[in-house]
Amino acid sequence: MKQAFNFNAGPCVLPKEAVESTIAAIRDFDNTGIGLMEISHRTPGWERTMAETRQLWRELLNIPAEYEILFLGGGASTQFFTVPANLLKTKAAYLQTGVWAKKAAKEAKLFGKTEIVASSEDKTYTYIPKGYTIPTDADYFHITTNNTIYGTEIKYDMDCPIMLVADMSSDIMSRPVDVTKYGLIYGGAQKNVGPAGVTFVIVRKDILGNIGDRAYMNPLPTMVDYRTHAAEEDKNISMFNTPPVLPIFVMHETLTWVKNLGGVEAMNKINQKKSAMLYEEIDRNSMFRGTVECKEDRSIMNHCWVMAEGREDLQDAFMAFAKERGMVGIKGHRSVGGFRASLYNACPVEAVEALVQCMQDFEKAHK
């Protein structure tokens, strides 16, 4: 097979072990003689897999019993309206740190008042706004912890005077999280915990069922109401309707891999190391310049850089040079330009070493 270092932003690299065990299960799931894609989701082996997957989430992120863990369809984008549908009584507050955050806020407007507390749109979202005041009359404050496109990240669990809601699509399981600081955490699986097709929602049960007499989407359609799915989890069968079986299985295998490596603390150490290696090279190399100037805002997942001043004409040359050496998915998002390397959990250290070497060799060739 061709040697490729996968730096795609999502869907992206998965642990080899997870891919291999999924291939085996697609042929024969749980010694049933039937493949994973062909079983009934009411099969005992599948109910056990669902329960184990939830248990892995609970263990890895220390999720208390007051929280339910839901596996839904529709991607994080569906949560952009499902969150306000379930939680917005009169007003919601949003921190606008990128286009995902902006898209989330747009959906909230359908349900009530929406306040953008702060935005970094003025500088193409290359920093995390600071020094803002969270309105205490809002039902919740929504943040995007990692801004996949721009390479900025809120790397701590903030103290929030109102309910905190977080889109953690692209940094979930990259580090320990104090779940108790959040009312709800959601994200698409396809960055750090599996393939596209399943969305995780971690929600504190007592915040549900409180939308008052809001005009829009009230009462809630059954599938939109988190309580529909939570009620099933209480019975530990977890399936109101057919779940995305294949993506959940890959998630199960991916989380098992994280657990075997030592959990999210160990994952975070490895991620810090990989990330520091690449940022050091971006800062050192005379050919390049990082786009996130405020170093404390730099993401440990997505690393964005452009050609240094006066070197812009070499952009295509570097892209070709890197491609030649097996680098895949390092083109920056069109709104930022330049390059982006996503070093998610499953991205091996060797891939980062290869990229750093490639950047050094390019500099030597063009100095």
- The residues that touch ligand PLP, with contacts defined as CB under 6 A, are 10, 75-77, 100, 144, 148, 167, 169-170, 188, 191
Told to judge if 167 belongs to the known catalytic residues of this protein, a careful annotator would answer: yes
Q: Which is nearer to ligand PLP, 145 or 238 (CB)?
A: 145
Q: Which is nearer to ligand PLP, 22 or 170 (CB)?
A: 170
Q: Which is nearer to ligand PLP, 325 or 331 (CB)?
A: 331
- What is the rounded CA–CA span in Å between residue 342 and residue 302? 4
CB of 34 vs ligand PLP, minimal distance in Å:
29
- What is the rounded CA–CA span in Å between residue 203 and residue 69? 7
Q: Which is nearer to ligand PLP, 188 or 338 (CB)?
A: 188
Q: Which of 89, 213, 103, 104 is nearest to 163 (CA)?
A: 89
Collapsing DSSP states into helix, strand and coil, what is residue 331?
strand
CB of 94 vs ligand PLP, minimal distance in Å:
13
Residue by residue, DSSP assigns 240-297 as SS---HHHHHHHHHHHHHHHHHTHHHHHHHHHHHHHHHHHHHHHH-TTEEES--SGGG
Told to judge if 57 belongs to the known catalytic residues of this protein, a careful annotator would answer: no
CB of 319 vs ligand PLP, minimal distance in Å:
23
CB of 347 vs ligand PLP, minimal distance in Å:
15
Q: Which of 142, 166, 143 is nearest to 88 (CA)?
A: 142
CB of 188 vs ligand PLP, minimal distance in Å:
3
Rg (CA), the chain: 21
CA angle 303, 143, 189 (to 5 degrees): 65
Selected catalytic residue, list 171, 191, 225, 257: 191
Selected catalytic residue, list 57, 100, 257, 305: 100
Told to judge if 100 belongs to the known catalytic residues of this protein, a careful annotator would answer: yes
Q: Which is nearer to ligand PLP, 114 or 190 (CB)?
A: 190
Tokens read off for 25: 């299960």
- What is the rounded CA–CA span in Å between residue 226 and residue 111? 16
Q: Where are the beta strands (DSSP E) in the chain?
A: 5-6, 67-72, 91-96, 113-119, 140-144, 146-147, 152-153, 163-167, 184-188, 199-204, 288-290, 302-307, 327-328, 339-342
- What is the rounded CA–CA span in Å between residue 181 and residue 200? 17
**Cβ contact 151:9 at 8 Å:** no
Q: Which is nearer to ligand PLP, 144 or 254 (CB)?
A: 144
CB of 210 vs ligand PLP, minimal distance in Å:
25
21: left (phi over 0), alpha (psi -120 to 50) or beta: alpha
Query: Could you give the residue numbers annotated as active site?
Result: 100, 167, 191
